[in-house]
Amino acid sequence: AGISLRVRNTFDPNDAGTLFSGDYMPDMPCVEIVTGKSGLVALEVFEQDLADGPSFDSALLEVLAQHDVRIVSKSSNANTITHYLDVSAGVLARVAAELSARFPAAEVTSRQVAMVSVIGSD
């Protein structure tokens, strides 16, 4: 698209940051930035007969929105939807209980995770 992206450091406002542009070509492929976030939760909802895919996911999103849960990312397949959340333990417990009550045939599980992103040039 020809749009450059500059990533700056909030904690070092005098630093120019890193500029990503379409015309930059490194001598060798390389990693430019590694970043991550710890303290996230993977909330997984497994439903063997996930026939109502879009409406099921909409209902999950509705519950998360009602509890003001911050969604960082999401993945899904034929019978599982996993939301990666930035959420407190108390809110997570309430969300999981509500999902289990609303979808009794579903298996609702959660686990602590961290997320890592790597941005590079080639």
Indicate if 21 and 54 belong to the same structural domain.
no
Q: Structurally, how many domains does the chain consist of? A: 2
Indicate if 29 and 69 belong to the same structural domain.
no
CA dist., res. 6 & res. 65, Å (int): 31
Q: What CATH number does the domain containing 86 carry?
A: 3.30.70.260
Indicate if 28 and 84 belong to the same structural domain.
no
DSSP state of 93: H
Residue the block writes with tokens 């911050």 = 70
Indicate if 23 and 46 belong to the same structural domain.
no
Indicate if 31 and 41 belong to the same structural domain.
no
Written as tens digits, the pLDDT of the chain (122 aa) is 688 888 898 889 899 988 888 888 889 999 988 999 999 999 999 998 776 667 888 999 999 999 999 999 999 988 899 999 999 999 999 999 999 999 999 999 999 999 999 988 88
Three-state DSSP state, 68: coil
**Residue 63 CB burial class (10 angstroms; 0-12, 13-18, ≥19):** middle
CA dist., res. 100 & res. 118, Å (int): 35
Indicate if 111 and 58 belong to the same structural domain.
yes
Indicate if 90 and 45 belong to the same structural domain.
yes
pLDDT score for 32: 83
